[in-house]
Structure 1
Amino acid sequence: MPDPADDAPSPTASPTATPRNRAMLPGIVALALGGFAIGTTEFAIMGLLPQAVAELDVSLPAGGILISAYALGVVVGAPLLAAGMARIDRRTSALWLMGLFVLGHGAGLLAPDFNTMLIARFVSGLPHGAYFSAAALAAAHLAGPARRGQAIAWVMSGLSVANLLGVPLATWLGQSQGWRWMFIVTGVFGIATMAAVAWLVPSVPAPRGASVRSELTALRSPALWRAILVGTIGFAGMFALYTYIAPVFTEVGGMPPQLVPLLMGLYGVGMVVGTLAGGTLSDRSARRTLQWMLGVVAASLACFSLTAQWWMVALVPLLAAAAAASALVPSLQVLLVDAAPQAPQLSGALNHSALNLANAMGAWVGAAVIQAGFTLQVPAGAGAALAGVGLVLSLALLRPPRP
């Protein structure tokens, strides 16, 4: 039966004994570049939602389904592709998955109508979770067991840096040249990732005895399902707001539309800080980190709902929510892998299934609130309630590790 230790170097090994240790930092950065590409496409669409619905001739709530379609692609693809690639070298898996990601964005660039765009977004989301699983396991292997939380955080930081650089770039190009430029930018980042991984990441074989059957044993772990439930409901609160972040700030808060790229960049600052801090805190206690961050998300979203009509004031709770929501991602990844150590590939991928199910749930809750006749600042309040429910569930369901 495979063990997570097979995905990490021996603690007693010399730090210069193998090529994989010498290539640790460049390899992890190359893997994080894939997270940068994925984060750009996942979040840039939210800043370009007004332009997308105008071209596709659909309503704003219907446009939110573009976000849900990508998220559902992640939910479906993460477990299927991760389990199917259980016996494949992590580096090879990352290359194939990023290739599928690039193809999906080529289809999105050429999609002629709303329904075709939905399909393209769904396909683009399929490799998302499995890529992060393979990349996180490869990074943990390179970094060693004592620094696995930090290594995972570095890979996840690609998502955060995307919000700092990639999303503002794609948003600015989308506003000035057409929103489909998002697909071009993201496709270029995806191709660059494939080149960097092929060049800088050494071979990372799958653990001995790994198989689809062994990976599927993760589904029998009650602790795994408890963590998924907590992560899905708690993280959905953030997406109830973030799905409609551009119209909330411009239509409710009065922000000039040309400042939306700057807004996305500021959100990225919060994500970078939160992700790196969350990795360090997760090495101390993943469970407590998750619980504290859910509390901060709930409080921040509630404050945002009350201050949304003053956009400069609302930036403060938005940044707090961004940092806290990002900090809980590495902790959830660690909890899931620990809940099913015999199936690291599948359990790691399920982290992204949970987060993107939260994405779809948050977008749906936000759309339901708007369609019910409430103003655009109310979805943030609904998001605060979801994060609060996630906190209560985490206190009830996530048990401390045995001595």
Structure 2
Amino acid sequence: MDKRIIPLAIGGLGIGTTEFTIMGLLPDIAQSLHINIPEAGHLISAYALGVVVGAPLLIGSSVKFPPKKVLIGLMILFTIFNVLSAVVPDYSTMLLMRFLSGLPHGAFFGVGTVVASKLAGKGKEALYISLMFTGLTVANLAMVPLVTYIGHTFNWRWYFAIVGVIGLITLLFLYLWLPAMPKKEDGHFLKELKFLRNKQSWYVLMITAIGFGGLFTWLSYITPLMTDVAGMKTSQMAYVMALVGGGMVVGNLAGGYLSDKIGAEKTSSLLLFLMMLALVGVFFLSQYQIPAMILTFLCGALAMSVSSPINIMMMKAAPNSEMMAAAFMQASFNVANALGAFLGGIPLAYGLPFTYPSLVGVGMTLIGLLICIRYIFVVRAIKQGQEKMIPECVTCDK
């Protein structure tokens, strides 16, 4: 791996660890802070809200600074707020710390996505973006189970301390290995938001929020699905989640490689179609343990495989506002998370089995696929229109 991309991957490792480990430590945190589980769940929502709010605000306020300095500044904020989370005395302060910890998340990946694409050689942009997201996938594969175990065994506050250490390591390698890049001289907050006037940008955001949200209908309810339907023991869920993480690692790299080979648009369409088939499989085959485990790995792989191509599509749709657009993509991924969990829970509220959230996911993924196909036709029509204008301009000049 190109050592220049390693600081971004380590940053992703820290972000993934702080975002997902809390789900397994909610009972410990609730007991320590004298709150109930639903109240502890608000700590997850507070972090997600921080991501949505922080992504555009921090990117918009830093567009005139060199990317390396911006990434270092964001990681300093991330590290400080996670370390403070390890020592806060009460629930209200913890809620605030989780919100503040989420602020740099989207902005870090937004800037990092653009930096990774510029570090790559021509034709390797998606691969380098996937390498940055490798840290996020490794967090799900290894760090989340490990830190969850440490938090359960010793004290949940060690979870935030470990994330703080990862933040410090990220800062060191950002300083040593990430090359300096020129700042954007004409950057301005309102100018960066102009990409929202482009309908292609909205297509990509909708593909992410709706199509990618289909997989969160499955992931949000994976524990009752695997225990109540597939017959797994609760004690085996750590292995199930490691299988999800392993799929994410493989899918992330495969999605980047495939995108560079056949193009981001074709890759995204293909992967959305495969997601739909996988979720159909979850609905019909989850009662059988071996097929359920295979589908767990496949869904994990497909969950991360879209990250690189969909980010490439967004950068193409917003050529002069790549960082802000990439930050909005992180906000859109969090909308997908919330939307998938909410819509997937509707059939459960009516007493239907735990296979039915995946059926909702099939519908969401199908909508995402149709929007992606529409996006391809819109982009093709724009290109054809531009090509027709070229000879006319030449004739006018003559």
2:137 is aligned, of 138, 160, 169, to 160
Who is 1:238 aligned against?
215
What is the root-mean-square deviation of aligned Cα atoms in Å? 2.6
CA contact (8 A) 1:163 1:265 kept: yes
Is 1:292 the equivalent of 2:270?
yes
Name the CA shift for 1:313/1:164 in 2 (closer, same or farther; >3 Å). same
Is 1:382 the equivalent of 2:360?
yes
Q: How does 1:217-236 map to 2 (within 5 A)?
A: 217-236=194-213
Who is 1:205 aligned against?
182
- State the SS of the aligned residue for 2:2: helix
Give, in angstroms, the shift of residue 338 of structure 1.
Answer: 0.7
Q: Could you tell me how far apart the structure 2 residues matched to 1:370 and 1:114 are?
A: 30
2:160 is aligned, of 154, 179, 183, to 183
Give 2:267's aligned amino acid: T
CA contact (8 A) 1:50 1:247 kept: no
Who is 1:272 aligned against?
249
2:100 is aligned, of 123, 128, 138, to 123
Q: How does 1:4-403 map to 2 (within 5 A)?
A: 25-49=2-26, 57-59=35-37, 65-111=42-88, 116-283=93-260, 284-399=262-377, 400-401=379-380, 402=383
CA contact (8 A) 1:32 1:157 kept: yes
Specify the structure having the higher radius of gyration (Cα): 2
Name the CA shift for 1:190/1:248 in 2 (closer, same or farther; >3 Å). farther
Give, in angstroms, the shift of residue 63 of structure 1.
Answer: 5.6
Give 2:331's aligned amino acid: S
Q: Could you tell me how far apart the structure 2 residues matched to 1:156 and 1:344 are?
A: 17
Give 1:133's aligned amino acid: G
- Identity over aligned pairs, percent: 36
Q: Could you tell me how far apart the structure 2 residues matched to 1:371 and 1:119 are?
A: 31
Name the CA shift for 1:180/1:367 in 2 (closer, same or farther; >3 Å). farther
Give, in angstroms, the shift of residue 124 of structure 1.
Answer: 1.8
Name the CA shift for 1:375/1:120 in 2 (closer, same or farther; >3 Å). farther
1:53-96 CA-partner distances (Å, limit 9, x unpaired): 66664356x66544333222212211111121111111111111
- State the SS of the aligned residue for 2:204: helix
Q: Could you tell me how far apart the structure 1 residues matched to 2:85 and 2:231 are?
A: 31
- State the SS of the aligned residue for 2:181: coil
Q: Could you tell me how far apart the structure 2 residues matched to 1:191 and 1:345 are?
A: 24
Q: Could you tell me how far apart the structure 2 residues matched to 1:166 and 1:348 are?
A: 25
Unaligned runs of 5+ in 1: 1-23
CA contact (8 A) 2:65 2:184 kept: no
Give 1:80's aligned amino acid: L
Q: Could you tell me how far apart the structure 2 residues matched to 1:186 and 1:72 are?
A: 20
Give, in angstroms, the shift of residue 51 of structure 1.
Answer: 5.1
Q: Which stretch of structure 1 is more off in the superposition, 159-168 or 110-119? A: 110-119
For normalisation by structure 1, the TM-score amounts to 0.85
CA contact (8 A) 1:67 1:363 kept: no
Q: Could you tell me how far apart the structure 1 residues matched to 2:265 and 2:214 are?
A: 19
Q: Could you tell me how far apart the structure 2 residues matched to 1:128 and 1:58 are?
A: 27
Give, in angstroms, the shift of residue 339 of structure 1.
Answer: 0.6
Q: Could you tell me how far apart the structure 1 residues matched to 2:5 and 2:334 are?
A: 23
Who is 1:6 aligned against?
none
Q: Which stretch of structure 1 is more off in the superposition, 391-400 or 336-345? A: 391-400
Name the CA shift for 1:377/1:69 in 2 (closer, same or farther; >3 Å). farther
Name the CA shift for 1:103/1:394 in 2 (closer, same or farther; >3 Å). same
Give 2:255's aligned amino acid: G
Name the CA shift for 1:274/1:207 in 2 (closer, same or farther; >3 Å). same
Q: Could you tell me how far apart the structure 2 residues matched to 1:373 and 1:85 are?
A: 48
Q: Could you tell me how far apart the structure 2 residues matched to 1:293 and 1:352 are?
A: 19
For normalisation by structure 2, the TM-score amounts to 0.86
Q: Which stretch of structure 1 is more off in the superposition, 131-140 or 326-335? A: 131-140
